Structure 1
Amino acid sequence: MRRLAKAKPQREPTIALINIVFLMLVFFMVAGTLAQPLDKTLNLVDTRDLEGRAPPDTLVIHADGRLSYQGADQPDAAAYLSSLSAEDRTVIRIVPDRALPATDMIRIARDLRGAGAGKIMIVTERGLE
């Protein structure tokens, strides 16, 4: 009579999976805390009340719709573009006042495009809130 060999019990692969998940958890916990937290007594600089100054190569659109370039008032978009070289007309940067209605900004952007402006970029303020 032949003896039947006992079948080896199969190991569950879930132990290996649990180990991998645990190692990933530890990795992300360590990676997420590499940056030192700010000191609790540190007060960051507040720039909300500082008067901003537009970059020198931008068209400023004031709250009342008035245009100015390098401190000089511009009668309209066409007059502003006529003072620029063909190369400078390819990218126009505008700085709108925060209180400028969106409809006025769109109208001025259309006027710039109609007068021959290429790409129009709006320069804005980036804040940490």
Structure 2
Amino acid sequence: MRLNHFTVKRQKAEPTIALINIVFLMLIFFLVAAQIAPPLDGDVKLVSTQDLESRDPPDALIVLPDGLMTYRGASITPSQYFTIKQESQNSDLETIRLVPDRALSAVKLIDIGNELKTLGAQKILVVTERGISE
């Protein structure tokens, strides 16, 4: 009597264990390599500037919501601003501080920035409000 031998093909196991090991080692590496900032001490209370009156930075060009500009309380155009700054002896024409109103559209702000660049401004600093959420 002859027996037929059936060969059963075994499926190869997926290398999931190796993948899990690699991911675990990467996790450990990044935890060790990362700089973790310690939390603030619970007794420390941060300074609140919410109720303070704000003051315009000196020699800043203020941009109102409608796009009009003021300098030291007087309405002004960018070309007039450059004329005044050129007449001033110790002024920096390359760097301009621009204080836009919150309601000013971004398109108008970009147009004003481009106009100031064409007049000779090398660097335009946009002054904004910065806050820390609690």
Instruction: Give the TM-score taking structure 1 as reference length.
Output: 0.62
* Residue segments in structure 1 that go unaligned for 5+ positions in a row: 1-20
Q: Give the structure 1 partner of residue 50 of structure 2.
A: 48
Q: Give the structure 2 partner of residue 38 of structure 1.
A: 42
Paired letter, 2:78: A
Three-state SS of the structure 1 residue aligned to 2:49 is: coil
Three-state SS of the structure 2 residue aligned to 1:109 is: helix
Q: Give the structure 1 partner of residue 81 of structure 2.
A: 80
Query: What is the Cα deviation at residue 32 of structure 1?
Result: 5.8
Following the alignment from structure 1 to structure 2, what is the Cα–Cα distance between the partners of residues 113 and 36?
A: 42
Paired letter, 2:132: L
After superposition, the CA RMSD in angstroms is 2.8
- Count residues in correspondence: 99
After TM superposition, the structure 1 = structure 2 runs for residues 99-110 of structure 1, keeping only pairs within 5 Å, are: 99-110=103-114
Q: Give the structure 2 partner of residue 7 of structure 1.
A: none
Provide closer, same or farther for how the CA distance between residues 36 and 67 of structure 1 changes in structure 2, counting only shifts above 3 A.
closer
The answer to whether structure 1 residue 115 and structure 2 residue 116 are counterparts is no
- Taking only the aligned residue pairs, the percentage that are identical comes to 41
Q: Deviations over 1:69-109 (max 9, x none)?
A: 122221x1111111112852111110111111001111111
* Structure 1 residue corresponding to 2:99, chosen from 95, 100, 106: 95
Query: What is the Cα deviation at residue 44 of structure 1?
Result: 4.8
* Residue segments in structure 2 that go unaligned for 5+ positions in a row: 1-27
Paired letter, 2:85: L
* Structure 2 residue corresponding to 1:67, chosen from 66, 69, 88: 69
Query: What is the Cα deviation at residue 43 of structure 1?
Result: 6.0
Paired letter, 2:62: V
Q: Deviations over 1:28-85 (max 9, x none)?
A: 9xx965x76133xx765543354421111211111121111122221x1111111112
Three-state SS of the structure 2 residue aligned to 1:73 is: strand
Paired letter, 1:105: L
Following the alignment from structure 2 to structure 1, what is the Cα–Cα distance between the partners of residues 52 and 40?
A: 29
Following the alignment from structure 1 to structure 2, what is the Cα–Cα distance between the partners of residues 52 and 102?
A: 22
Instruction: Give the TM-score taking structure 2 as reference length.
Output: 0.60
